């Protein structure tokens, strides 16, 4: 089984996020790291503050969009960046703890502001080799 | 796009015959090279929009069309509320009322050249740009409500600019129908620190000079002359608009089925215009539009202050302010009858022709200024709305070049420092908080704006008036 990882893929003017993990929860964590990595290097984001995120949705794909949008909200409304995510999924509910710090323009040189997660290229699925993939495009 | 799937109506107009669930044809504007370059997804998205209830005439794609979310960017579609027509959060997009405002300065390139560096530094200090930047203005809940219903009119009342500015803004600076009650707590929270900020990505403030005039008569009415210096602001409704887009997109995607609407793509999320959620979205969207208009008004004020410090003889007055992510109730002729329809313009600019009652004098003599944004090193254009665009595209024209390279490709191809040095050697000063952001927005990452504008001109969507090139760029 592959190790947890994230990557970006191209979509027109915007950015595709892809998280891969042993479970949907781990794939969600990696997708959220891909979100941070679209803005700055997650290694530069210190673990100083924690934020709790809770959401619920009728299916796993909508849950991914809701989770990423909740992270985007925390970043936008509170000026945060996160570099560690712990996600638990129980049926249609998600509970997450995101850890990070406030944006420091000099330190993080953030590239772009993410406006929202979209339904484009949205997929949460188990791969033939067993790992889980969670992906969608975010509007920047 | 495979042009063999299209019927060529004229040199710059291509048609997709309705098939399957399509209620109307698809119409794509552009020369053969532009249409061939368009992604096949644009074809698919034009067809998908054509399936939505209440669509009238056609589903349009303009010469700068590219793969968007549900609707193509550069897409136009109008819906009749009396025929179960829909309003689509996806058809407006996340950055509600993102748009372009261009200001005259009364200065020439010769006036600005000796002070260029000082002006760039002053603008960069005064106008909050980039991720994590915050504005100076903090609004209480009641002030926020007043801003959401008052738009640029509210901003002028607060001392940001002048009454005369409002004449040169769509809707005279204030979109009617805004309902702050339909704007969530989260949307409000995202706006708290963001009034008067530019944002990031392709948003910018540019100081530009007029390098070529194509139509002397219209240019004279617009007050444009060779060598004149202009200031152009490109930004939108900031966090508030993004959150409204996010929330209504999700809600509409879920409830569409309850209204019997089959969505070929969830991103087309929509609801009947005459439904509780449709009406709530229109109220929230109008509020976000007012937020964008107020934001550009405040940035105008900050720009005036910066000029006053460096070049005190400058007089900044509005040429015009256009929004290019909108849904507006407008009267158009459909099947020989004038009707009220809801026109969605997603990455498309309203382009009213001469004589339109919404235009103030003297613009009504010639048609609405259509402001087409560039990308740091490339040109921007001022076009003019035409009478024939009414039946060609519900009076709509292009909004920009569109990307040719993805952000990842751009970062692999260029470094921010290299772009800044290259532009500097051409006399263009760039200021940005993020070098990687500059690399992602490299001028070479965008398509040829000249080809897009020429196609819009030849298709009759709008007429070329003037070309502008940047002198100073503040990049978010």
Three-state SS annotation for B338-385:
EEEEEEEEECCEECCCCCCCCCCCCHHHHCCEEEECCCCCCCEEEEEE
> What distance lies between CA B273 and its chain's CA centroid?
23
**Are the beta carbons of A116 and B440 separated by less than 8 Å?**
no
**Are the beta carbons of A122 and B266 separated by less than 8 Å?**
yes
- Closest to B303 (Cα-Cα) out of B295, B111, A1: B295
Active-site residue flag, B399: yes
Alpha helices (runs of H) in B10-168, residue ranges in sequence order: 32-37, 40-49, 89-92, 109-112, 116-126, 141-157, 163-167
pLDDT in tens, A67-78: 999 999 999 999
User: What does the alpha-carbon distance between residue B463 and residue B219 come to, in Å, rounded to a whole number?
Assistant: 11
pLDDT value at position A12?
77
| Chain A interface includes B93 (CB < 8 A) | yes
Average pLDDT, chain B: 96
Peptide bond into B196 cis (omega under 30): no
pLDDT value at position B201?
86
Residues in chain A: 140
User: What does the alpha-carbon distance between residue B188 and residue B62 come to, in Å, rounded to a whole number?
Assistant: 34
**Which is catalytic among the residues B12, B66, B104, B399?**
B399
**Are the beta carbons of B407 and A62 separated by less than 8 Å?**
no
**Are the beta carbons of A137 and B239 separated by less than 8 Å?**
no
Angle at B335 between CA B329 and CA B337, to 5 degrees: 60
User: What does the alpha-carbon distance between residue B205 and residue A67 come to, in Å, rounded to a whole number?
Assistant: 33
- Closest to B322 (Cα-Cα) out of B277, B367, B362, B378: B367
Which ipTM was obtained for this model?
0.93
Here the CATH number for the domain that contains residue A116 is: 3.55.10.10
pLDDT value at position B375?
83
The segments of chain B whose pLDDT lies below 70 read none
Please, is B20 exposed, middle or buried when counting C-beta atoms within 10 Å of its C-beta (0-12, 13-18, 19+)? Answer: exposed
pLDDT value at position B374?
86
pLDDT value at position A2?
55
Please report the residues numbered 253 through 312 in chain B whose beta carbons come closer than 8 angstroms to any beta carbon of chain A.
253-254, 265-267, 269
Structure tokens at B33: 């090279």
User: What does the alpha-carbon distance between residue B473 and residue B198 come to, in Å, rounded to a whole number?
Assistant: 12
User: What does the alpha-carbon distance between residue B292 and residue B290 come to, in Å, rounded to a whole number?
Assistant: 5
Given a contact cutoff of 8 angstroms between Cβ atoms, the answer to whether B376 and B429 are in contact is no
User: What does the alpha-carbon distance between residue B253 and residue B355 come to, in Å, rounded to a whole number?
Assistant: 39
For B194, phi and psi rounded to 5 degrees?
-110, 5
Q: Containing domain of residue A119, as a range? A: 5-139
User: What does the alpha-carbon distance between residue A39 and residue B242 come to, in Å, rounded to a whole number?
Assistant: 17
For residue A133, the cross-strand partners are: A20, A125
Q: Which residues of B touch A11 (CB under 8 A)?
A: 67, 406
pLDDT value at position A37?
97
The segments of chain A whose pLDDT lies below 70 read 1-2
Work out the angle between the directed axes of helices A60-78 and A24-39 (0-180°, nearest 10). Answer: 40
Best probe of the A interface among B44, B61, B64, B69, by most A CBs < 10 A, is B69
pLDDT value at position B269?
95
Please, is A102 exposed, middle or buried when counting C-beta atoms within 10 Å of its C-beta (0-12, 13-18, 19+)? Answer: middle
Please name the CATH architecture into which domain B3-404+446-475 falls: Alpha-Beta Complex (3.90)
Structure tokens at B195: 């009034």
Structure tokens at A2: 């592959």
Q: How many domains does chain A have?
A: 1
Q: Any idea which residue has 């996010």 for tokens?
A: B246
């Amino acid at each position: 089984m592959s190790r947890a990882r994230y990557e970006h893929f191209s979509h027109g003017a915007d950015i595709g996020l892809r998280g891969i993990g042993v479970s949907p929860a781990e794939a969600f964590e990696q997708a959220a790291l891909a979100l941070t990595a679209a803005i700055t290097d997650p290694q530069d984001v210190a673990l100083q503050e924690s934020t709790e995120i809770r959401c619920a949705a009728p299916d796993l794909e909508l849950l991914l969009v809701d989770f990423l949008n909740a992270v985007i909200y925390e970043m936008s409304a509170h000026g945060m960046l996160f570099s560690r995510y712990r996600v638990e999924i129980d049926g249609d509910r998600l509970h997450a703890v995101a850890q990070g710090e406030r944006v420091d323009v000099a330190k993080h040189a953030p590239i772009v502001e993410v406006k929202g997660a979209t339904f484009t290229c949205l997929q949460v699925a188990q791969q033939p080799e067993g790992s889980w993939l969670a992906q969608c495009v975010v509007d920047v | 796009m495979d042009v063999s799937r299209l019927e060529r109506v004229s040199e710059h107009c291509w048609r997709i015959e309705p098939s399957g669930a399509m209620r109307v044809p698809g119409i794509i504007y552009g020369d053969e090279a532009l249409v061939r370059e368009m992604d096949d997804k644009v074809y698919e998205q034009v067809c998908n929009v054509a399936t939505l209830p209440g669509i009238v005439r056609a589903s349009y794609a303009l010469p700068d069309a590219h793969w968007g979310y549900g609707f193509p960017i550069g897409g136009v579609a109008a819906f009749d509320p009396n025929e179960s027509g829909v309003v689509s959060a996806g058809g407006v997009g996340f950055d509600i009322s993102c748009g372009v405002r261009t200001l005259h300065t009364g200065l020439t390139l010769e006036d600005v050249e000796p002070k260029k560096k000082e002006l760039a530094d002053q603008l960069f200090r005064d106008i909050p740009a980039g991720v994590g930047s915050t504005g100076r203005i903090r609004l209480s809940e009641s002030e926020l409500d007043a801003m959401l219903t008052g738009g640029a009119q509210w901003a002028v009342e607060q001392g940001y600019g002048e009454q005369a500015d409002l004449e040169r803004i769509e809707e005279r600076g204030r979109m009617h129908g805004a309902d702050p009650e339909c704007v969530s707590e989260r949307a409000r929270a995202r706006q708290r620190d963001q009034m008067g900020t530019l944002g990031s990505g392709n948003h910018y403030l540019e100081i530009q000079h007029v390098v070529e005039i194509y139509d002397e008569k219209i240019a004279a009415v617009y007050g444009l002359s060779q060598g004149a210096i202009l200031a152009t602001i490109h930004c939108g409704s900031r966090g508030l608009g993004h959150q409204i887009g996010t929330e209504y997109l999700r809600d509409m995607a879920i409830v569409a089925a309850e209204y019997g609407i089959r969505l070929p793509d969830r991103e087309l999320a929509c609801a009947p215009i005459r439904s509780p959620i449709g009406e709530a979205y229109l109220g929230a969207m109008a509020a976000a539009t007012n937020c964008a208009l107020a934001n550009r008004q405040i940035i105008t004020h900050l720009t005036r202050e910066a000029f006053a410090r460096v070049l005190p003889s400058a007089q900044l007055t509005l040429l015009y302010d256009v929004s290019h992510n909108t849904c507006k109730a407008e009267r158009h002729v459909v099947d020989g009858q004038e009707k009220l329809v809801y026109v969605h313009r997603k990455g498309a600019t309203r382009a009213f022709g001469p004589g339109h009652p919404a235009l103030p004098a003297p613009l009504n003599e010639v048609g609405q200024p259509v402001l087409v944004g560039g990308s740091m090193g490339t040109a921007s254009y001022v076009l003019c709305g035409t009478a024939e665009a009414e039946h060609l595209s519900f009076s709509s024209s292009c909004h920009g070049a569109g990307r040719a390279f993805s952000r990842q490709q751009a970062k692999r191809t260029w470094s921010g420092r290299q772009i800044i040095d290259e532009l500097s050697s051409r006399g263009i000063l760039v200021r940005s908080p993020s070098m990687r952001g500059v690399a992602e927005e490299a001028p070479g990452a965008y398509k040829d704006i000249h080809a897009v504008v020429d196609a819009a001109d030849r298709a009759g969507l709008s007429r070329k008036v003037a070309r502008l090139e940047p002198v100073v760029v503040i990049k978010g």
